[in-house]
Amino acid sequence: MYGLSRSDGMCFACSPKNPIGLHLEFSLEGDICRATFTAGEEHQGWDGLLHGGLIATLLDEAMAQWLWHRGIAAMTAEMLTRFSHPVPVGVPVTVEAWKVGGKGRLWELSAHLILPGGRVAARATAKFLTMKEGSFPA
């Protein structure tokens, strides 16, 4: 499918080749797209806590990967993020995403970031737009 080539392999969130990337590995289990991540000290904002921008990145990427795993090339158009609990560095967290709805080129998805023990630390809802032919760089 057009637009699904990542020939440069430098995606910040998921590429294993990006030396400063997060190296996320997503799997699709039923209708849930899931990955685990353990933040290091280099990912903190406040002392010992994962930076909020990286929490948003994890949530956004999980939703984008839900689409990607289905062969859908889309980009985030809008995202609302709610932070409920701090996320310590050095602790494995799970990010999960699923489809909520959509119509035409618009996809609506949700995601959450889960701490060990099951507490939801952050959640997001987003709208993604399917890319039109020729709108992705070759």
Q: Which CATH superfamily is domain 27-130 in?
A: Hotdog Thioesterase (3.10.129.10)
Closest listed residue to residue 111, CA positions, set 120, 42, 10, 88:
120
**What is the pTM assigned to this prediction?**
0.88
Average pLDDT on 95-118 reads: 97
Q: Cβ distance 74 to 99 under 8 Å? A: no
Average pLDDT on 116-126 reads: 98
Average pLDDT on 124-134 reads: 89
Lookup result for tokens 């999960």: 96
Under the banding of pLDDT at 50, 70 and 90, the label for residue 10 is confident
- Say yes or no to pLDDT of 35 above 70: yes
Q: Where are the domains of the chain?
A: 27-130
pLDDT, tens digit (0-9, with 9 covering 90-100), for 21-32: 667 788 999 999
- Say yes or no to pLDDT of 72 above 70: yes
In this structure, the chain runs to a length of 138
- Say yes or no to pLDDT of 93 above 60: yes
Query: Hey, CA dihedral for 90, 50, 46, 118, is it positive or negative?
Result: negative
